[in-house]
Structure 1
Amino acid sequence: MDPNLTSNHFLSLPRPDASVGTPAGVPDTTTLAAHDFDVDTRTGFMPPQPPIARLPPAWESWEAALDEAIRLQLQLGHTPGLPEDEIAKSESWRGRVRSLPILPITDLKRSELYLRRGHHVLGWILHFYIHSLPPNASIVIPPPITLPLLQISAQLQLPPVLTYSDDVLYNWALKKPLEQNGVPALDNLRCLTLFTGTKDEEEFYLTSSRIELKGVEALELMQVIMDETFVGDDIAIRRITQYLTSVATVIQDLRTMLLAVKEHCNPDIFYHHIRPWFRGVDSDPNKRPWVFAGIEEDPSLQEPTELSGPSAGQSSLVHALDIFLGVDQYSHASSVTGHSSSSGKSAFLDRMQMYMPRHHRTFLNHLSANPRPLRAFVEGSKDAGLQEAYNAAVLALKAFRDAHMIIVALYIIGPSRRPAPAFAASAVSAERLDIQKDYHVDTLKGTGGTELVNFLKDVRDRTAGAVLPPA
């Protein structure tokens, strides 16, 4: 077991070969070790302790380069009328990045926590470097970033680009220290790294962090429901009915928390001043390729093919809800992927699992292998109350996706129609934005590269299609 992974085991799921070596009809409760999942009983997919905030001194030059980018308040290279001194300041910083030593990662491999921090730091430097470039400049990532970032990414089995885990899961600290073994309060979080230093950007990331922490309640309910499905008697059906009602309530709370981002994150500031920093290749309006200079120096490295950038579609919590409720065959089967069918890329939500921490992918794969899926159990029970509770949970998930549509209308569609403001608030009403009738929004790209509106509408509608008809 990796001593740097301290999460507790969460879900007890039979292995796919549960029937081997066990009496007929008796489920094998053998489970994967805790480090195979890295899902904590208190914090879910968030780490149970705050992520480390700095690498050891051997890699201080990376940390210093990131600190400097933040201190200099680098500006987006495509900013209209960007003053010459800002252009020169950005190029001077990029020059110092190009002159960094190429640091080995051998000792980083001894610690998962150090590897995560390395990916975080280099990923943020990468995005500062790329998005501070003039809009007509070629994107050539220098070897001091290319080699260690690709090597760390290979170890973590992640793309060499910022991911949801870099922005959310491993980008937080505590405002006030916790008591021993305490659970972080939702209002006791702050971000480690920001592009703009604004409250708007911090609130955008922390909204997802709070959703992840609240989602622990859903994970707990999933565990007890699966235990009950293996009993399967009338008492178990009554308990599952109650638990599913609670699952629906938790998902409704997640929806409320998602919409609460409106309280502290200004839509125009987000769209014009924050969002461009973390976009990947797929959402670059200029379609510029990313050239990783120096990759040939390490024959073990491969040219990256996944460079989408962070997306809410990389949240393991939402995928877990999809899989557990059995709606993934509907929501993940969307034909709207943001890519042509000839591209060879899988459906977007399945592809986004490649951007998740590998232990969380193991968790989702193990959850998918549950030999007694909930949806099949509900269908086979012919119990009207159980079916009603199941449908309530599915409809709550659909309502969560409705809320996502509202956020898209407020934070992307609306600002896309307006010129970039200075850092000042402006009142916008999501209710005034009719995404069904807007004639040009279908071409808007999500940070993951999807044709945003069509994709979200399709996933939302397919989730609703998972509702079971009356028994």
Structure 2
Amino acid sequence: MTKQVKLSDFDVSETTGFVATKPPLRKLPGEYFSSWEDTCTKIPALIENKELRAKIDALPERQFNKETLESEEEWKRAYVLLTFLSQSYIWAEGEAGVIDTLPKKLAVPWYAVSEHLAMKPVATYASVILYNYSLRDPKGGMTADNLVAVSTFTGTKDESWFYMVHVLVELAAVSGLKAIEGAFEAMKMQKNEKLKNELQKIEKAIDNMRKTLQNMYNKCDAEVYYCKVRHFLSGAQGNPAFPNGVIYEGVDNKPHFYNGGSAAQSSSIPSFDALLGAKHPGPEKDPTFMRKMREYQPRKHRDFLVAIDTQPSLREYIKKSQNSELIKKYNSALESLIKFRRSHMRLIDIYIIEQSRKCRATEATGTHGTSVDPGKDETAVGIPVKALAFTGAGGTPVETFLKQVKDSTESIKIPLPVF
């Protein structure tokens, strides 16, 4: 007998979903971490002045002591902190100066913290989004105007907005996540009217996620994201800039090929995929990509997906019911998922594909920017990383991959019965 799926068993909040109900720590307490925190707040300026690596190299060599982290909130802040310090160290001098060996003073604690949290030592959706939000007004709500990133690589409003829109998308998913509980309960009790209501809630939640995602265009300039932010989120997997992987000095001195931060590491859309029975093959060069992304999610969130997987199939239940109204509700929920993916594809087209094409078109002129705005200060925009052209930060060829995911979602719609 399968165990009932309950959000509370998996650190999934009924008010904020996969986002913590209480804002993450902004700063680790104590002298031990003060030099890390101080350096992290200065990352944008240190990169701009080409002083970041020298600053980190000058930090005192100390043996990492796990006992200095007392709560899970502190472990999560340490994970965020070391992610920003390490990823900025790797990319501080752009593509031409990228390094593939992370110094021991960063590698050892980052690896240890990641191991404790069952995460990967690389930029992840959790480290830059789920564990990295704050409220401008602590007494205010989790709204677009009140959310702000704790740490950034560039200090730009664009980068903070990029992260916080994803937080808002997670919040928009909450009613749908709660409906997953209700859907399994309705199926178990064979209450088809209740099941139709739960599917309608899921459809509405995914529609709200799609509409919320559109806010990205408001305050995140595509050129700034492509040229200044994106490479800091990337890993070695699928990245020509790291043909030999990345070595974590003092850990095992072997090359590691981790995927970078990806929206596929969010647990919200994968939860709806799992419920509705949508299974997606990965890109040709990485066919297990979607399944592998679960390894980059917080431990209890990936356990939530496994719990959904082990439940009786919702799709098979509805298909066998031959209930036309129930099938229509199921297909409508799937259609909302398809619309979300089309919207995501359009976003990727603007923020990655179009920018990649413009870079290719301007290479012959000897300029570095994408020429979206000829009057824009190139130093404010940054120089794009050619190795990541047409590729997501997670290391996949995004255009073909996302279309493949959309198509596989469309393929599982249930035909209406013919009587």
Change (3 A) 1:244 1:362: same
Any residues of structure 2 matched to 1:271-286 within 5 Å, and which? 271-286=226-241
Contact 2:43–2:154 (Cα < 8 Å) also in 1: no
Aligned to 1:74: 47
Is 1:295 the counterpart of 2:295 in the alignment? no
Output the CA distance in 2 between the equivalents of 1:163 and 1:40.
21
2:355 corresponds, among 406, 415, 419, to 415
Contact 1:74–1:90 (Cα < 8 Å) also in 2: yes
Is 1:260 the counterpart of 2:208 in the alignment? no
Give % identity.
Answer: 27
One-letter code of the match for 2:42?
A: E
Any residues of structure 2 matched to 1:161-176 within 5 Å, and which? 161-176=122-137
Output the CA distance in 2 between the equivalents of 1:214 and 1:426.
37
Deviation sequence 1:173-232 (CA, Å, 0-9, x none): 1122237xxx63344211101111111111111111001011101112222222111111
One-letter code of the match for 1:389?
A: K
Aligned to 1:117: 77
Output the CA distance in 2 between the equivalents of 1:444 and 1:137.
19
Change (3 A) 1:452 1:144: same
Return the offset for 1:424.
8.6
2:102 corresponds, among 138, 141, 155, to 141
SS in 1 for 2:215: helix
One-letter code of the match for 1:470?
A: L
Return the offset for 1:172.
0.6
Is 1:391 the counterpart of 2:346 in the alignment? no
Is 1:103 the counterpart of 2:44 in the alignment? no
Change (3 A) 1:467 1:275: same
SS in 2 for 1:291: strand
Aligned to 1:319: 270
Output the CA distance in 2 between the equivalents of 1:381 and 1:38.
33
Output the CA distance in 2 between the equivalents of 1:115 and 1:264.
31
Aligned to 2:90: 130
Change (3 A) 1:417 1:194: same
Return the offset for 1:442.
12
Aligned to 1:65: 39
One-letter code of the match for 1:133?
A: E
Return the offset for 1:157.
1.1
Contact 1:158–1:355 (Cα < 8 Å) also in 2: yes
Change (3 A) 1:48 1:203: same
SS in 2 for 1:106: helix
Return the offset for 1:148.
0.8
Is 1:40 the counterpart of 2:1 in the alignment? no
Output the CA distance in 2 between the equivalents of 1:291 and 1:46.
31
Deviation sequence 1:361-395 (CA, Å, 0-9, x none): 1111111111x321112112110011011001101
Change (3 A) 1:465 1:442: farther
One-letter code of the match for 1:267?
A: A
Output the CA distance in 1 between the equivalents of 2:55 and 2:388.
37
2:322 corresponds, among 382, 402, 405, to 382
Change (3 A) 1:137 1:237: closer
SS in 2 for 1:221: helix
Change (3 A) 1:119 1:91: closer
Contact 2:231–2:388 (Cα < 8 Å) also in 1: no
1:351 corresponds, among 287, 292, 297, to 292
Q: List alignment gaps of at least 5 residues for structure 1.
A: 1-16, 19-27, 76-85, 297-301, 340-345, 428-440
Output the CA distance in 1 between the equivalents of 2:79 and 2:236.
18
TM-score, normalised on structure 2?
A: 0.87
Change (3 A) 1:187 1:443: closer
Range 276-285 or range 214-223, more displaced:
276-285
Change (3 A) 1:282 1:201: same
Deviation sequence 1:1-59 (CA, Å, 0-9, x none): xxxxxxxxxxxxxxxx44xxxxxxxxx75x7794x511111111000100011112122
Any residues of structure 2 matched to 1:220-231 within 5 Å, and which? 220-231=178-189
Change (3 A) 1:190 1:337: farther
Contact 1:338–1:348 (Cα < 8 Å) also in 2: no
Return the offset for 1:145.
0.6
Change (3 A) 1:457 1:129: same
One-letter code of the match for 1:37?
A: F
Aligned to 2:261: 310
SS in 2 for 1:44: coil
Change (3 A) 1:194 1:269: same
Change (3 A) 1:375 1:306: farther
Output the CA distance in 2 between the equivalents of 1:376 and 1:293.
50
Deviation sequence 1:279-310 (CA, Å, 0-9, x none): 111253423431211125xxxxx957452111
Output the CA distance in 2 between the equivalents of 1:348 and 1:106.
35
Output the CA distance in 2 between the equivalents of 1:378 and 1:32.
22
Output the CA distance in 2 between the equivalents of 1:138 and 1:177.
39
Return the offset for 1:423.
11
RMSD: 2.6
Deviation sequence 1:230-263 (CA, Å, 0-9, x none): 111xxx2123223312321221121111122111
Deviation sequence 1:330-364 (CA, Å, 0-9, x none): xx234x2543xxxxxx6111111110000111111
Aligned to 2:160: 202
Aligned to 2:364: none
Aligned to 1:367: 308
Return the offset for 1:266.
0.9
Is 1:249 the counterpart of 2:223 in the alignment? no
Contact 2:40–2:81 (Cα < 8 Å) also in 1: yes
Change (3 A) 1:333 1:418: closer
Return the offset for 1:68.
2.9
Return the offset for 1:92.
2.4
Output the CA distance in 1 between the equivalents of 2:393 and 2:292.
14
Range 278-287 or range 216-225, more displaced:
278-287
